[in-house]
Every structure is written in C-alpha cells, then in structure tokens.
Amino acid sequence: MFGVKLFKKTAAKNNRKNTMKAMILAAGFGKRLGDLTRDIPKPLIEIKGKALIDYHIEKLISAGFSSVSINVHYLANKIIDHVQSKFSGKIELIFSHEENILGTGGGVYQGTASYGQEDILIINSDIFSDFDYRNFLDKKSNILFVTKAEKGLIGDFSVVDGFVDIENDKDFIWTGFSIINRSIFKDINQINFHYWQDCLKKIAARRKLYAEILDINWYDVGNPETLQNLNK
C-alpha cells in the first residue's frame, strides 16, 4: 500500500448511538518548533501537562466517536506507544504508518481507507481550542470549519453564502477541522499530494466546499511563541 502499514487496536464496545469516525494528522516533523521536536513528535508536545493529541482523542471519546485513525511517520513509535497506553479499549485506534511521508492529502487518503464512503472528521494535531467535538456530529460533508482572521492578518480565503471562496478577500482562517467524504479523492491519481492545494482548493473553486464559521478560542501550536503563551 505505497509504503503504508495499517493496523487496528480494537476498542471496547461503545454503547452510544454515534458511529462517526475521525482522523488526526500526526505524521509531520514539527520543524517550526525547532529543538522542541528533536526528540518529541509534535502531537506529544504538552500544553498544561497534557499532550496535544490527548486533548483531541479525549474530546472524540466524549462526543461518542467510534473510531480514530492517526497517520504517523516522524518518531512514529513514540506516538503509537503513547496513544495505545492511554486510550486502548476506549475507542477504536487505527494507525497509518507512512514509511515515506505522503503529504497531508496522501496521508488522509490512506489513513481513512478502511472507513469506506463515510463522512469523516479530519483534525490537524497541532491545533488547540475550546471547541466541543459533539458540535461536529450530524454536519454535512465537504465542509471546512473556519474562524475570522485577526485584524491586520491575512487569512486563507473568504466565505460567501456559506461556501469557501478563493477569489475574494482572504479574511477567514481554516481552523484545521474539516469533515469530508472519501469521494473527494475520486479524481486524484497520485499517492503523495497536499490536502488543501491538490484537493480541497479545487472543490472550493467549483463552489462546492462548505464553510462554517466558529466563534471559539483557537490556537495554531506550530510555533514556539504560541506554545509558550499557552503554558503560562
């Protein structure tokens, strides 16, 4: 499978009705964090004494998600060992081990392969927020969750009539949360590709990528300054 190893850790039975599944992107090198990620993968960087990835998985469990897939590459075994020790038996765990890193798009494509044509919540591991993941349930697919760019900062795109707009002012920021259906990959003929540039942006250009504006406390933990401020 193009240098990808998938294996499951079966969870304890979940009696909740929700069967929605999620994926956490955790294969990156965390280069922006410099020496902080020399021996620790970015998803295991701590905020107030807890690993970033723990916040995400705990919220998924609380919301009743049945399964989470996690793609890994850099210091993969550290992530796998940590997650299994904390969450085995609480939620189905699927690890997509990329022997050669596949890019964000390739990572999502391979990491969600066992989910079939279901709607899947995709989460960037390096974000931190106060958002309740129960609010992701029963949302439409092919949607990005966005927040207003702070004054003076350039965002990623605009939002017009509930859709992502890439032609007008860039005044909204993608929070790193999205819900997709794997059908979005039907025209992709490569294994290593970018989730936004090679896939979602093309859907947005056809005015078929929804946007939901969130009013939340949200942080990109990809830089040392933000991490330091959160740990004060």
- Residue 155 belongs to a domain with what CATH number? 3.90.550.10
Segment (H or E) for 80: helix 76-87
Give the model's pLDDT for residue 138. 87
Residue 173 has φ and ψ, to the nearest 5°, of: -115, 135
Whether 72 contacts 25, CB under 8 Å: no
Query: Distance from first CA to last CA of the chain, Å, rounded?
Result: 44
Predicted model pTM = 0.93
Number of domains observed in the structure of the chain = 1
Range of the domain at 155: 4-230
Whether 96 contacts 1, CB under 8 Å: no
Pick the closest to residue 202 from 175, 172, 155, 164 (CA basis).
164
Give the model's pLDDT for residue 130. 96
Mind listing the pLDDT tens digit for each residue in 191-231? 999 999 999 999 999 999 999 999 999 999 988 999 999 99
Low pLDDT (below 70) residues in the chain: 1-18
Give the model's pLDDT for residue 19. 83
